Structure 1
Amino acid sequence: MAGAASPDRRRFLTTSAAVLSAVASTQLWLPATARAAEPPLPDGVFSLGVASGDPLPDGIVLWTRLAPDPLNGGGMPDSAVSVEWEIAEDDRFGKHVRRGVAQALPEYGHSVHVDVRHLRPGREYWYRFRVGGQISPTGRTRTAPHRHSSNGNLRFALASCQNWQHGYFTPYADMLAQDPDFVLFVGDYIYESSPSATALRRHEGTGEPYTLVQYRNRYAQYRTDPDLAAMHAAAPFVVTFDDHEVDNDWAGEIPQDPDKQPHDAFVARLTAAYQAFYEHMPVRASSIPNGPHIQMYRRFEFGRLARLNVLDTRQYRSDQVTSQEAAQNPALTMLGAEQKQWLLDGLHDSPARWNLIGSQIMMAETDILLGAGKQWFYDAWDGYQVERNQFLAEFESVRNPVVLSGDRHLTMISDLRKDFADPASDVVGAEFVGTSISSNGDQDQAAFHAQWDPLMADNPHWKFIDAHRGYHLFDVDRRGIDAQVRVVDTVRQPTATASTLAALRVEAGRPGVELA
């Protein structure tokens, strides 16, 4: 899917930022009489831009949310609004493919999710919305390859952890220039932390979000970042959540601080957070929440080249432990029985050359105790040792497994070993833990390496570690995966200089990862 961009695609990439800030006033696709009959709406209903996601060979989800006053509940009337949408084969909308009308309902924050089907596989499309005489920015998207396609290539980006208060989302400007076929976002799209007077960019509101309106306002603020908005308009996203979309380090229906958040109150918070997540993400109706429950683990096929399994490592997990002995309790689960079996089935019956796993949290071991003994991060897979080790054992019989993670605000690229207690055990896969978009801000690199480099001897499976802000870029074909660690020099300014800090490769049929 990657490769030389077409003239239309190059033109879109060079003008996407301008498109986002300028709403077209021509090419309306309803008669003037129909437009005149619509009730008037406030100006600026498309302030949050457009997005697409969850690509299938014949379908894509198109998203927008009507919000003329985005940081104050949205500013829309308390009534349903009909929103026209269209999708075309060109950015001038001369070759229409589908068009229709969707309902923006107040009970879903006037968000719009259009699940367009009967599209052609492996194709670029352009789309937009219209309501009340206002036209949205133009978005570009792409369907997945035909399900029987076995050749070609795929380019995608791995992103996570974008804290508004820690910096601008400058890595997305470079990501846009790299032109990925899709973006895999593995969690911490927003942060629930209270506004800080000393932050580079202050969170809206007066405290942490707990209600639906408060979560809506927080998502809306994040959506106003211009680099994030431009990236959403340029390529489909495949998203899942981690902890900060709700509450730091929560597990199942247990908050970080159960003494301060009674169960009923936290269930109400989960319900609000899940709904706001759905309202702001380009996901299908299968992910409409049912109270404090939401279906997020799901699977995507990119022909016979790659199968992507997207996990939910929060909703079904056992409560986080606090000791090495407790982490080895066989009763603990990260995924829950149903999701665990779903993942195993999807790995073993996969027809794909590459079996990718989008995991919010790190699977490889992190031993932070220098010298003899071990000390783990219990919020990650290290806190769920038995289930993690079961998966590592299964990886021996899975074709080319690669885990794609976030959460750590660091780049940590590792071999996955069958038994991390035995450094000589077989390598069964590779893991790329992507750094953050902005979380932790511009770190002191010398201080990071002074702290972490001595731990390399205790973690011989680590192949590369770093603490710059950025994302990972992957080029996949049948022979291998070429990965780039793309970083920016700062997130403290609205613009930044990007570069490739490291290049790595995973060879098909050879578990593990090597510096290129």
Structure 2
Amino acid sequence: MALSRRTLLLGSAAAGAAAATTTWPLAVSAAPARGPLRTDPFTLGVASGDPDSDGFVLWTRLAPNPLAEDGAGGMPSRDVAVEWRIAADERFRKVVRRGVVVARPASAHAVHVELGGLPPAREFFYRFRAESFLSPIGRTRTAPARWSLPSALAMSFASCSQYEHGYFTAYRRLAEGEPDLVLHLGDYQYEYPADTYTIPGGNPRDHQGPETVTLANYRQRHAQYKTDPDLQAAHAVAPWAVIFDDHEIENNWADEVPEQPDPDFPARRAAAFQAYYENMPLRRTSIPRGIDMRLYRRLHWGRLATFHLLDTRQFRDDQGCGDGYKDCPAAADPTRSITGAEQEAWLLDGFHRSSARWDILGQQVFFGRRDNNSGPATVLSMDSWDGYAASRDRITRGWVDAGVRNPVVLTGDVHAHWADDLKLDWADPASITVGAELVCSSITSSGDGADVVPGTHPWAAWNPHLRFYNNQRGYVRTRITTDALTADFQVVPFVTRPGAPVHTRATFVIEDRVPGLHQIADTPTAGGTAGLRAPSAAGAETVRQETRRP
């Protein structure tokens, strides 16, 4: 009986060790300096990423003892030859490419295989072998040819997975949907030691080790997250494109400015970047150079969609007026930037060169305006694009001037689902809509959350462009076609215990050449109804949450 793809992928982590007896001789052998590996080194799973029309990146990292305090994952201090194979079928009867790469101690035995020369728009399966051990199986794909116009793309995006705040069930549900592509928009891991960043009722899980400061700390923390089977399933089901936000280093950092004064911050930043690269399926163009790392880049899905992946941390001016929500003159300073001049010019040039049906900005922090004050003062989040209004205006006007056909902004960070129309003139609610923003909730960060009646967020009355809000955990599932982008806001009712089901809380459509959002479905949980009402207790709690650590 043939195994289903889902059975193979979601069960492959458990099957990896059992399959290790399969005959699969290494093409190149690295003589073990101090004895062979004795336990399974593939405890962190497998991943692929950054697909283009002729290839992608394959990733794994060898770590038989993933939580080792020295960050080395329990590996011996020697090189290990790792064989990789790509097949056109899930049983590996049609192997199309194979090779050997050396996993080295200097990179925590991480493996990056950057491939080209493959046919476009094809599904592939891959796995690794190290000595007598086989890895789980991963599924990936090449993007369509650059000149082609594919009929559809299934893309899901997620952010903010605080390990201590709950179980990664939403990753499992994302994997079960078998998307073509996954975007992760930041806060993949968090830096805090146990019992520092807590939710009401206490954290259901604990971080291992101290606050992440050194390279060993960051390697250990990434490994702890990667051991989660739900996260492994999400990585194994499709290629990912990743960008970091703040917690991959520390809360609310900006360029070379830490949250609190720290003369050692440059060394901490360099350590965090190295560990991030080691643990993500990134191309060699993202290899860190000291405290610098090139993360902004483009992915093309034929002429259907271009993804402009941004870095809003590494090059930004420091947040104005001491961070937080403020009525702050610095927010309007035309010299301030959240992207830096070079990245901004790169993005604007990309708008002018684009021939895509959809231009999608994958980025970290809230793009649209959110004034949290009902009075005459404008009180905005200094950590979002609101704190860099001129920067936002240049980019928004840039896509309008370039004639971008369908601009869409994807966002993470705020631990809640949002959807909003984007304006050229935020002071005039009747001004034209020039784009749309879709904001995914967290995978776990802030704990279970609560369902919210649509329209009851306290800020909705004076921010009419804010079209949707929900305070449950989850992710966003999209289907992109030539005619429309459909976004399903997926939610789970709880994360503080495992096994939650998932359902679609609301569905919005962005039609081709029609800027702005159109809601086509609202599926409240028991007791919820649609419509504008007085602010709910859940909404008031969200205001309090968003003044704390994001």
The match for 2:10 among 17, 35, 44 is: 17
The residue that corresponds to 1:217 in the other structure is 220
- Quote the Cα distance in structure 2 between the aligned partners of 1:275 and 1:85: 23
The residue that corresponds to 1:320 in the other structure is 319
Q: Does the alignment pair 1:251 with 2:254?
A: yes
- Quote the Cα distance in structure 2 between the aligned partners of 1:321 and 1:28: 60
Q: Does the alignment pair 1:61 with 2:57?
A: yes
Q: Secondary structure at the match of 1:84?
A: strand
Gaps of 5+ in 1: 1-6
1:378 is aligned with what amino acid? M
Q: Does the alignment pair 1:51 with 2:50?
A: no
- Quote the Cα distance in structure 1 between the aligned partners of 2:425 and 2:398: 12
1:166 is aligned with what amino acid? H
List per-residue Cα deviations over 1:385-418 (Å, max 9, x = no partner): 1111111222323210000010010111000001
1:66 is aligned with what amino acid? L
The residue that corresponds to 1:408 in the other structure is 414
Measured at CA, do residues 273 and 33 of structure 1 come closer, stay the same or move farther in structure 2, by a change above 3 Å? closer
List per-residue Cα deviations over 1:444-492 (Å, max 9, x = no partner): 446x989x62310111101111111000001001101011001111111
- Quote the Cα distance in structure 1 between the aligned partners of 2:31 and 2:105: 23
The residue that corresponds to 1:235 in the other structure is 238
**Does the CA contact (< 8 Å) of 2:364 and 2:411 recur in 1?**
yes
- Quote the Cα distance in structure 2 between the aligned partners of 1:483 and 1:240: 21
- Quote the Cα distance in structure 1 between the aligned partners of 2:331 and 2:27: 65
- Quote the Cα distance in structure 1 between the aligned partners of 2:450 and 2:46: 36
- Quote the Cα distance in structure 2 between the aligned partners of 1:233 and 1:393: 39
- Quote the Cα distance in structure 2 between the aligned partners of 1:88 and 1:32: 17
2:417 is aligned with what amino acid? T
List per-residue Cα deviations over 1:25-77 (Å, max 9, x = no partner): 35433179969989501312000010000001100100000001111121111
**Does the CA contact (< 8 Å) of 1:58 and 1:143 recur in 2?**
yes
**Does the CA contact (< 8 Å) of 2:32 and 2:80 recur in 1?**
no
- Quote the Cα distance in structure 1 between the aligned partners of 2:51 and 2:141: 7
- Quote the Cα distance in structure 2 between the aligned partners of 1:483 and 1:453: 20
- Quote the Cα distance in structure 2 between the aligned partners of 1:37 and 1:414: 57
- Quote the Cα distance in structure 2 between the aligned partners of 1:15 and 1:251: 42
After TM superposition, list the pairs within 5 Å mapping 1:353-432 onto structure 2: 353-396=357-400, 397-432=403-438
The match for 1:510 among 510, 514, 532 is: 514
Q: Does the alignment pair 1:441 with 2:441?
A: no
Measured at CA, do residues 442 and 31 of structure 1 come closer, stay the same or move farther in structure 2, by a change above 3 Å? closer
- Quote the Cα distance in structure 1 between the aligned partners of 2:66 and 2:97: 29
Deviation at 1:272, TM superposition (A): 0.4
1:468 is aligned with what amino acid? Q
**Does the CA contact (< 8 Å) of 2:308 and 2:361 recur in 1?**
yes
- Quote the Cα distance in structure 2 between the aligned partners of 1:429 and 1:449: 21
List per-residue Cα deviations over 1:283-339 (Å, max 9, x = no partner): 011111111110100000000100000000000000001242111111111111110
Q: Does the alignment pair 1:208 with 2:220?
A: no
The residue that corresponds to 2:356 in the other structure is 352
The residue that corresponds to 2:457 in the other structure is 453
1:271 is aligned with what amino acid? A
- Quote the Cα distance in structure 2 between the aligned partners of 1:481 and 1:86: 35
Measured at CA, do residues 106 and 343 of structure 1 come closer, stay the same or move farther in structure 2, by a change above 3 Å? same
Q: Secondary structure at the match of 2:516?
A: coil
Q: Secondary structure at the match of 1:494?
A: coil
Q: Does the alignment pair 1:489 with 2:493?
A: yes
The residue that corresponds to 1:40 in the other structure is 36
- Quote the Cα distance in structure 2 between the aligned partners of 1:118 and 1:32: 21
TM-score, normalized by length of structure 2? Answer: 0.88
Measured at CA, do residues 37 and 242 of structure 1 come closer, stay the same or move farther in structure 2, by a change above 3 Å? closer
The residue that corresponds to 2:146 in the other structure is 147
**Does the CA contact (< 8 Å) of 2:449 and 2:494 recur in 1?**
no
The residue that corresponds to 2:273 in the other structure is 274
- Quote the Cα distance in structure 1 between the aligned partners of 2:259 and 2:462: 29
The residue that corresponds to 1:29 in the other structure is 24
RMSD over aligned CA atoms reads 1.9
**Does the CA contact (< 8 Å) of 1:35 and 1:133 recur in 2?**
no
Measured at CA, do residues 95 and 392 of structure 1 come closer, stay the same or move farther in structure 2, by a change above 3 Å? same
Deviation at 1:17, TM superposition (A): 2.6
Q: Does the alignment pair 1:71 with 2:75?
A: no
Identity in percent: 47
1:364 is aligned with what amino acid? G
Measured at CA, do residues 514 and 218 of structure 1 come closer, stay the same or move farther in structure 2, by a change above 3 Å? same
List per-residue Cα deviations over 1:155-182 (Å, max 9, x = no partner): 1001000000110011112111211101
**Does the CA contact (< 8 Å) of 1:371 and 1:458 recur in 2?**
no
Measured at CA, do residues 324 and 334 of structure 1 come closer, stay the same or move farther in structure 2, by a change above 3 Å? same
Q: Secondary structure at the match of 2:335?
A: coil
2:464 is aligned with what amino acid? P
Deviation at 1:374, TM superposition (A): 1.5
Q: Does the alignment pair 1:329 with 2:333?
A: yes
List per-residue Cα deviations over 1:111-139 (Å, max 9, x = no partner): 00000111111111011110111010111
Measured at CA, do residues 208 and 440 of structure 1 come closer, stay the same or move farther in structure 2, by a change above 3 Å? same
1:310 is aligned with what amino acid? L
The residue that corresponds to 1:4 in the other structure is none
**Does the CA contact (< 8 Å) of 2:30 and 2:80 recur in 1?**
no
- Quote the Cα distance in structure 2 between the aligned partners of 1:482 and 1:110: 40
**Does the CA contact (< 8 Å) of 1:354 and 1:399 recur in 2?**
yes
Aligned length: 502
Gaps of 5+ in 2: 197-201, 322-326, 521-550
- Quote the Cα distance in structure 2 between the aligned partners of 1:324 and 1:32: 62
List per-residue Cα deviations over 1:160-212 (Å, max 9, x = no partner): 0000011001111211121110100000000011211842100111x311000
